[in-house]
Amino acid sequence: MFKTKTKQIKENKVYSRPAVGSAILLMGFIILIASIGLAISVGAAKINFLTVWNSILNYDPSREADRIIISLRLPRELGAAIVGAAFAVSGAIMQGMTKNPLADPGLLGLNAGASLALACVFAFNTGADYFTVMILSFLGAGIGAGMVFGLGSMSRGGLSPIRITLAGAAVSALLSSLGEGIALYFKLSQDLAFWTAGGVSGTNWAQLKLIVPVVLVGIVIAVIFSRQLTILSFGEEVAKGLGQRTILTKAVLMTVVLILAGAAVSLVGAIAFVGLMVPHIVRFLVGTDYRWIIPCSAIFGSVLMVLADTFARTVNAPYETPVGAVVAMIGVPFFLYLARKGGRKRS
Amino acid sequence: MMSLRQIKRIRATTIAAIVLLVAVFILSVATGFASLTPGELFRTVIGQGTPRENLILFEFRLPRIFVAVLAGMGLAVSGAILQSLTKNPLSDPGILGINAGAGLMVVVYIMFFTVETSSFLYILPLFALAGGMATAAVIYLMSYIKGEGVEPTRLVLVGVGLAAALYGATLTLSTRLEMEDYSFMANWMAGRIWGDDWIFVLSLLPWILLLTPITLLKSNVLNTLNLHENVSIGVGVNVGRERIILIMIAVALASASVAVSGGIGFVGLMAPHIARSLVGPRHQAFLPIAALIGAILLLAADSIGRVILDPSGIPAGIIVTIIGAPYFMYLLAKK
Amino acid sequence: MGRLSFLKLIENDFYFQIWGDLSMKKRTKQLLLSFMTMLLAFALAACGNKSEEGTSTENKESKSETRIYKGEKGDVKVPAKPKRVAMMAATYAGNLLDLGITPIAVNEYPKANKFYGNKLDKAEVVTADSYEKLLELNPDLIITYSDDKNIKKYEEIAPTATLTYDKYDYKEQHIEIGKIVGKEKEAKAWVKEWDKKAADASKKVKDAIGEDKTFMVMEAYGKDMYVYGKNWGRGTEVIYQALGLKAPKKLEEDVFGPGWKAISTEVIPTYAGDYIFVGSGAGNPDNSFMQSDVWKELPAVKNGNAIKFDSESFYFNDPISLEKELDFIVKELTTK
């Protein structure tokens, strides 16, 4: 039994680079801390490194620098880190499960559901505060994903990746059109655009208290199931042959994707490119074993988002550039390079 | 083997689609906010109308209706070509960055050029056309590798990547627009039929009239390209050349359509799927039906937006999706 | 043999199965023929209509008295006393109301302005592309911005006068609209009266709060902040022009030129004045910046000098809105 297992895994050429992986994890963590530090000290209002330490260690609300650091920048950068990790990990899971290199959480109808919910909130209940808005967009994301799964599993064939993808495209199109329609009808589309483009600005401690535990739990579950995901990425038949209960595994993994992406979308809106891009880059570096891909994606996603957000705040200060745009700009050259390289390897 | 039943089915479906299109067309002509009774309508059609009736029919309604019909056809055929070439059921003109490129150019135009009414109306579609085509060209060049040509999977990857970047840029720029400019932009992106003048009909017509029949003539090539590449080569198809020609046709059709119609995406995705589910995957059979369905969908959507939902002014692109997506889902769930 | 099912198609990963022989030339030709015939029919219909169109319009208005308005793009023949005016420009509806003309059609923005009360209840909402509805309303004059895409269509419905928004300040714009509708005298009278009223108010405010207090007008959109210059609606005309109140130096330098500026929450303190007018409402649930210590510690906020206004109404700078804005601002500044 064990022999056939290893043989089958070998046939599917799982290659991993544990050394590179550990190095990335360690370096990544250091870089993450450093970049958060850097991110806090630069910005529209200039503050030096020492002041940053000083104000984190003993906060004095009467100093303007301290107020900016503690009530604006620190929550913002933590938010960026957590959101980046959540998007990247959920993207990695999606790509592993569907074996589709273009899969990202947006395909599950999460973004569309969230934006529809947002449009409804803006249109029908202008009194809602930030917190309510967040909860409702999380619910919207859940409804979107629920529709995709419901539709995908309605038939006898069950949840095949291609069917999920198609269902996702249809549901996303429907929900985002409804959202757009509502937004245009009520003249809200610019408010909505500002909201989704605004990224992590405006993140505060109350939101973080809600989001951080959720995301951390999601990532831990993802890491626990990463071995199963590697097996699943060989294909469903293989996974079944290896004795995996594929339905259970897929259900758990999909739930994790929903939690992670839902939480992230509710905080910053749809920044889908992180989820699409980071797993590709990580796979290129550490190989195809998801035990390495998932944690490395988390770190890599965090660093990317923190740096992107810092860039977004500083490149044209005091005016904020939408962070989603920055992520896309940074990511695209790399992505194009990968696409060309990958294409060459395959043929 | 093509069974008799299938031939009958194809014929019946084609006729049904044509009848449906004509019916939607007539309904759309006959309805609108300004009242025009069937009698008045008939009088106007045969050239006996009052100035007011002529104005309503020939200046207000017909141009917009024709633009919707033609753009629907163009997008549907373009989508069908792309889906077959890339062997990807989710391909649509958007995948070649046409919507994204056109959208970016529209924002750039609104932001950086003085808006002179007389030229604005006609220059904007030119900008959109240039944006769409340039983006498609860049995507094509970026996915071209010497000795290998353009491999479809890579084309899709590069397309999605570049489209994401362009949307990012569009978003960045458009949040800086004044409220009314933004509202215009949002409507354009959501697919409000922009060109509602005869000049737009005339500028779109040659593209459709020329390229749709060419595509139809290439049905067999499309059929073979859809199989594995080796099969195509075996059958004697020059894969590389045919692919380039077909992609160029798809880009031209979609860019021309998007330029006058605004950013409408779902028609190109859905119409081919629906057509295929009705008559099967042979291009000879489903391409004309896809074109008809595209026209029906877009015309119906625009008419609903124009007639029923006035004065809300919901763009056709949104209504098309709201009508089309559930049907698409039904097809998915049925089997 | 049944038809190839949709799903089969998908599960084969789009490697479609091809049924039967590949050359079905006859059928293709037939289909092609019918298809082209249809397109041809469309083309013919289009061309046919084109040739007729020339004869269609023109003799719209001729009976009632007309007068020439020297507009930006040449002379426009307008009715001497227009009765049914359609106002397709968002910001000018109030100017018409002040001149005693209730527009028969407006677009959707002025309807949200609470300052107009029920004065616009009878005006129909006509969005940009519903020119058919406009035709049904039978206007005798249409006024719109000079960058409106549908001017050509409007001109076929009724005489159309156009204005370029940023060519006039708020007083000039009122007089210009007065000229269009034949009430230039009334418009000039309002400007005179307004100047007097503003001077009184200015004195009253300066007596109450002192000469050299500074003011900032801002709004939050989604997660972004906006600061406005001296001519960008939202009460800026009243504060900086009519009342002659000052802006903080930095704000004057950075914002008065471009008219408005998007800023980060972090630099609110840099631009903040002794008084802050902050827009609220308009489908805008985000005021999380008001919970941050950066906001709470601003001198203006601490002293209770942060004043909220209704964004949807303050957006405008026509006489009716301006007078209400003036009353609101004077009241806020003097009753403390």
What ipTM does the predicted assembly reach? 0.76
pLDDT of res. C239: 93
Contact status, residue A18 vs residue A292, Cβ threshold 8 Å? yes
Contact B143 A340 (CB under 8 A): yes
Q: How close C303 comes to chain B (CA, Å)?
A: 33
Contacts of B317 in chain A (CB under 8 A): 177
- Average of per-residue pLDDT values in chain A: 79
Could you tell me the residue range of the domain that residue B193 belongs to?
4-334
| CB interface of C with B, residues 59-88, below 8 Å | 59-60
Indicate the range of A61-65, A251-255, B20-24, C71-75 predicted with least confidence.
A61-65
Contacts of A343 in chain B (CB under 8 A): 143, 145, 148, 151, 153-154, 157
Phi, psi dihedrals of residue B293, rounded to the nearest 5°: -65, -40
> Which letter does DSSP use for residue B304 in this model?
I
Number of H helices, E strands in chain B: 15, 2
Buried b (16+ CB within 10 A) or exposed e, B203-228: bbbebbeebbeebbebbbbbbbbbbe
Contacts of A347 in chain B (CB under 8 A): 148, 151
Contacts of A273 in chain B (CB under 8 A): 164, 168
H or E stretch at A277: helix A272-286
Q: Beta-strand (E) ranges in A112-238?
A: none
Using the predicted structure, report yes or no on whether residue C97 has a pLDDT greater than 50. Answer: yes
Q: Does A181 touch chain C (CB under 8 A)?
A: no
pLDDT of res. B226: 73
pLDDT of res. B71: 94
Contact status, residue B47 vs residue C48, Cβ threshold 8 Å? no
CA dist B150 and B319 (Å) reads 35
CA dist C89 and C95 (Å) reads 11
Letter for the amino acid at B247? I
Tell me the Ramachandran region of residue A109: left when phi exceeds 0, alpha when psi lies from -120 to 50, beta otherwise: left
Contact status, residue B105 vs residue B128, Cβ threshold 8 Å? yes
Q: How close B9 comes to chain C (CA, Å)?
A: 9
Strand C160-163 relative to strand C215-221: parallel, antiparallel, unpaired?
unpaired
Q: Which among A68-77, A221-230, B308-317, C8-17 has the top mean pLDDT? A: A221-230
Using the predicted structure, report yes or no on whether residue B127 has a pLDDT greater than 50. Answer: yes
Residue B41 CB coordination number (10 Å):
18
Using the predicted structure, report yes or no on whether residue A129 has a pLDDT greater than 90. Answer: no
Q: Does B87 touch chain C (CB under 8 A)?
A: yes
Average pLDDT of the residues in B280-287: 87
Q: Does A146 touch chain B (CB under 8 A)?
A: no
Contact C132 B56 (CB under 8 A): yes
Confidence of residue C222 (pLDDT cuts 50, 70, 90): low
Q: Does C35 touch chain B (CB under 8 A)?
A: yes
Contact status, residue A265 vs residue A81, Cβ threshold 8 Å? no
Which tops the pLDDT comparison, B295 or A312? Answer: B295
pLDDT of res. B172: 73
Strand-pairing partners, residue A195, are: none
Distance of CA C143 to the CA centre of its chain: 13
Mutate to test the interface with A, among C266, C288, C293, C302 (most CBs of A within 10 A): C266
**B4-30 vs B62-86: helix crossing angle, rounded to 10:** 150
Question: Which has the closest alpha carbon to A71: B36, B133, C297, C149?
Answer: C297
Hey, is C99 helix, strand or coil? coil
Q: Does C41 touch chain B (CB under 8 A)?
A: no
Contact C3 B279 (CB under 8 A): yes
Phi, psi dihedrals of residue C226, rounded to the nearest 5°: -125, 140
Q: Does B144 touch chain C (CB under 8 A)?
A: no
Contact B183 A327 (CB under 8 A): no
- Average of per-residue pLDDT values in chain B: 82
Which tops the pLDDT comparison, C165 or C62? Answer: C165
Residue C127 makes CB contacts below 8 A (sequence gap 6+) with B310, B311, B312, B313, C107, C108
How many residues are there in chain C? 336
Q: What confidence tens digit (pLDDT) does each residue in B75-97 have?
A: 999 999 988 887 777 777 877 78
CA dist C22 and B224 (Å) reads 9
pLDDT of res. A22: 85
Q: How many domains does chain B have?
A: 1
CA dist A237 and A228 (Å) reads 13
Using the predicted structure, report yes or no on whether residue C285 has a pLDDT greater than 70. Answer: no
Strand C215-221 relative to strand C124-125: parallel, antiparallel, unpaired?
unpaired
Q: How close A115 comes to chain B (CA, Å)?
A: 15
Strand C224-228 relative to strand C215-221: parallel, antiparallel, unpaired?
antiparallel
pLDDT of res. C54: 37
pLDDT of res. A231: 87
Which tops the pLDDT comparison, C3 or C183? Answer: C183
Phi, psi dihedrals of residue C26, rounded to the nearest 5°: -60, -50
Which tops the pLDDT comparison, C2 or B116? Answer: B116
CA dist A92 and A102 (Å) reads 10
Distance of CA B141 to the CA centre of its chain: 24
Contacts of A180 in chain B (CB under 8 A): 186, 190, 318
Average pLDDT of the residues in B49-70: 87
Contact B145 A340 (CB under 8 A): yes
Q: What confidence tens digit (pLDDT) does each residue in A158-200 have?
A: 666 667 777 887 888 889 888 888 887 777 666 666 666 657 7
Buried b (16+ CB within 10 A) or exposed e, B286-313: bbbbbbbbbbbbbbbbbbbbbeeebbeb
Contacts of A194 in chain C (CB under 8 A): 221-224
| Helix %, strand %, coil % of chain B (to 5) | 80, 0, 20
pLDDT of res. A92: 92
| CB interface of B with C, residues 190-229, below 8 Å | 192, 196-198, 201-202, 205, 208-209, 212-213, 216-217, 219-220, 223-224, 226-228
CA dist A4 and A24 (Å) reads 32
Average pLDDT of the residues in C140-151: 86
Residue C251 burial (10 A CB sphere; 0-12, 13-18, 19+): buried
Using the predicted structure, report yes or no on whether residue C20 has a pLDDT greater than 50. Answer: no
Mutate to test the interface with B, among A201, A271, A340 (most CBs of B within 10 A): A340
CA dist C155 and C141 (Å) reads 9
Question: Which has the closest alpha carbon to A258: A110, A96, A82?
Answer: A110
Report the residue from A174, A197, A331 with minimal CB separation from B322.
Answer: A174
Question: Which has the closest alpha carbon to B131: B155, B145, B114, B110?
Answer: B110
pLDDT of res. B125: 82
Q: Does A169 touch chain B (CB under 8 A)?
A: yes
DSSP for B16-78 reads HHHHHHHHHHHHHHH-SSS---HHHHHHHHTT---HHHHIIIIIIIHHHHHHHHHHHHHHHHH
Q: Does A329 touch chain B (CB under 8 A)?
A: yes
CA dist C169 and C164 (Å) reads 11
CA dist A75 and A86 (Å) reads 16
Strand C224-228 relative to strand C74-79: parallel, antiparallel, unpaired?
unpaired
Contact C19 B34 (CB under 8 A): no
DSSP for B216-244 reads HHTHHHHHHHHS-HHHHHHHT--HHHHHH
What is the residue whose two structure tokens read 């939408």?
A: A322
Report the residue from A61, A163, A202 with minimal CB separation from C10.
Answer: A163
Which tops the pLDDT comparison, C6 or A103? Answer: A103
**Tokens describing residue B259:** 């330029």
Contact status, residue A232 vs residue A96, Cβ threshold 8 Å? yes
The CATH number covering residue B156 comes to 1.10.3470.10
Mutate to test the interface with B, among A192, A336, A344, A345 (most CBs of B within 10 A): A336
Q: How close C288 comes to chain A (CA, Å)?
A: 6
Phi, psi dihedrals of residue C318, rounded to the nearest 5°: -95, 165
Question: Which has the closest alpha carbon to C262: A80, B169, A317?
Answer: A317
Contact status, residue B306 vs residue B299, Cβ threshold 8 Å? no
Contact status, residue C214 vs residue C248, Cβ threshold 8 Å? yes
Report the residue from A154, A173, A342 with minimal CB separation from B266.
Answer: A173
Q: What confidence tens digit (pLDDT) does each residue in B195-219 have?
A: 778 888 888 899 999 999 999 998 8
How many residues are there in chain B? 335
Q: How close B326 comes to chain C (CA, Å)?
A: 15
C interface residues, A as partner, C-beta within 8 Å:
7, 10-11, 13, 108-109, 221-224, 261-267, 269-270, 281-289, 291-294, 297
Q: Is the peptide bond before B311 cis (omega within 30 degrees of 0)?
A: yes
Q: Beta-strand (E) ranges in chain A?
A: none
Average pLDDT of the residues in C253-271: 83
Average pLDDT of the residues in A6-17: 56
* Cβ pairs bridging A and B (under 8 Å): 153
Contact A122 C270 (CB under 8 A): no
Contacts of B305 in chain A (CB under 8 A): none
Confidence of residue B25 (pLDDT cuts 50, 70, 90): very high
Q: How many angstroms separate the first and last alpha carbons of chain A?
A: 34
Q: Is the peptide bond before A318 cis (omega within 30 degrees of 0)?
A: yes
pLDDT of res. A123: 78
Mutate to test the interface with C, among B2, B25, B55 (most CBs of C within 10 A): B55
Q: What confidence tens digit (pLDDT) does each residue in C155-213 have?
A: 889 999 998 887 888 899 999 999 999 999 999 999 999 999 999 999 999 999 888 89
Indicate the range of A4-8, B311-315, C74-78, C219-223 predicted with least confidence.
A4-8
Average pLDDT of the residues in C106-125: 86
Which tops the pLDDT comparison, C60 or C93? Answer: C93
> Which letter does DSSP use for residue C214 in this model?
B
Share of chain A above pLDDT 70, in %: 80
Contact B55 C156 (CB under 8 A): yes
- Average of per-residue pLDDT values in chain C: 78
pLDDT of res. C98: 92
Contacts of B291 in chain C (CB under 8 A): 35
Strand-pairing partners, residue C162, are: C144
Contact B156 A325 (CB under 8 A): no
Confidence of residue B48 (pLDDT cuts 50, 70, 90): confident
* Cβ pairs bridging B and C (under 8 Å): 192
> Which letter does DSSP use for residue A321 in this model?
P
Phi, psi dihedrals of residue A167, rounded to the nearest 5°: -60, -40
Q: How close A62 comes to chain C (CA, Å)?
A: 8
CA dist B149 and A107 (Å) reads 29
What is the residue whose two structure tokens read 């390209």?
A: B225
Chains in contact with C, where contact requires at least 3 CB pairs less than 8 Å apart:
A, B
pLDDT of res. C15: 28
Using the predicted structure, report yes or no on whether residue A1 has a pLDDT greater than 70. Answer: no
Question: Which has the closest alpha carbon to A309: A296, A330, A327?
Answer: A327
H or E stretch at C225: strand C224-228
Buried b (16+ CB within 10 A) or exposed e, B262-271: bbbbbbbbbb
Q: What confidence tens digit (pLDDT) does each residue in A79-127 have?
A: 999 999 999 999 999 888 877 666 777 777 888 888 888 888 877 765 6
CA dist B270 and B293 (Å) reads 9
Contact status, residue C272 vs residue A67, Cβ threshold 8 Å? no
Q: How close A21 comes to chain C (CA, Å)?
A: 34
CA dist B302 and B324 (Å) reads 13
Q: Does C231 touch chain B (CB under 8 A)?
A: no
DSSP for C164-177 reads -GGGS-HHHHHHHH
Hey, is C61 helix, strand or coil? coil
Average pLDDT of the residues in B23-43: 83
